Structure 1
Amino acid sequence: MDTGEIYTNKLTKGNRTYFFDIKKSEKGDLYLKVSESKKTESGYEHHRLMIFDEDLKDFFEALKKSLKKFKELKEPKDGKTYSVEKIRETHKQAYLPWTEEDDNKLELLFCEGKKAKELAEIFGRNIGAINSRIKKLELKDKYGK
């Protein structure tokens, strides 16, 4: 075992083996070494990537962002041109069912003269959802607004 090796984790998939090694440099700095070993007809092919401590956080964030995008691109298209998860980044309550309490609060605030834009912020939903709910509850007809 390499004297600088502190931890290792191995993952084998088919003819590829991945190693995730935490090592210590001669100066005592920690770094992550990711290696791929692939069996070929002529032996083994090796690839290595070293990520140093000062870059690890940024590397992790970039990897996380790339994996999220990978997942989005890989998911089968079901005719939707939107992602509920993506919409909920800006509208926390998007596509969640309305409760009786929500309806009562919406009716009260509507009667107070709140506009759809303000109601959207209050309820964590988009303006279209607010207008749809106002229509469904017939608030404009009920209150002549």
Structure 2
Amino acid sequence: MSDNEIYSDKITKGSRTYFFDIKKSEKGDLYLKISESKRTESGFEHHRLKVFDEDLKDFVEALKKSLTKFKELKEPRQTNGKTYSVEKIRETHQQAYLPWTTEDDNKLELLFCEGKKVKELAEIFGRNVGAINSRIKKLELKDKYGK
């Protein structure tokens, strides 16, 4: 390693070799140099990318996002037709997709009879408006109380 080379690592896969070098510029600034060397019929092809210290955090974040997307595209998850994430929904509705208890049903019926609006009930039960409407329909509360 020369004086401006601080760290070096490499990966060889088939005809390609990737180099990861941390170097110091003439001004003393650190940067990451990523190089690819590829053996071809006519010799070698070389490609280089330099990422400077001030850009490294954003570069790594973009790389992480790209790798996540790459993995999703390469190995699509079996979602059984679901286009939503229960965990994501529970960030705003803590009780989403959890079973209703008898106690919940009794409380819903009482609050419904008191005239609470669906939006208020959704907040109280930690569920979305659609879940409250579905439960009201299932328990036949509108028919039962004429509302």
Output the TM-score relative to the length of structure 1: 0.66
Unaligned 5+ runs, structure 2 = none
| Distance in 2, Cα, partners of 1:100 & 1:31 | 58
Mapping of residues 1-145 of structure 1, within 5 Å: 1-74=1-74, 75=76, 80=81, 82-84=83-85, 87-88=88-89, 91=92, 93=94, 97-98=98-99, 103=104, 107=108, 114-120=116-122, 125-135=127-137, 138=139, 140=141, 144=145
Contact 1:87 1:94 in 2 (8 A): no
Unaligned 5+ runs, structure 1 = none
Residues 42, 134 of structure 1: alpha-carbon distance in 2 compared, 3 angstrom cutoff: farther
In the alignment of these two chains, the number of paired residues is 144
| Distance in 2, Cα, partners of 1:60 & 1:86 | 25
| Distance in 2, Cα, partners of 1:101 & 1:56 | 54
Residues 106, 50 of structure 1: alpha-carbon distance in 2 compared, 3 angstrom cutoff: farther
Residues 32, 69 of structure 1: alpha-carbon distance in 2 compared, 3 angstrom cutoff: same
| Distance in 2, Cα, partners of 1:12 & 1:102 | 62
Answer with 1 or 2: which has the greater Rg: 2
Q: Percent identity?
A: 63
Quote how far apart the aligned CAs of 1:14 are: 2.7
Secondary structure of 1:82's counterpart equals coil
Secondary structure of 1:64's counterpart equals helix
Q: CA RMSD in A?
A: 3.9
| Distance in 1, Cα, partners of 2:125 & 2:114 | 15
Q: Deviations over 1:16-73 (max 9, x none)?
A: 2222221111111111111112222222211111011111112222222323333333
| Distance in 1, Cα, partners of 2:52 & 2:41 | 33
Output the TM-score relative to the length of structure 2: 0.65
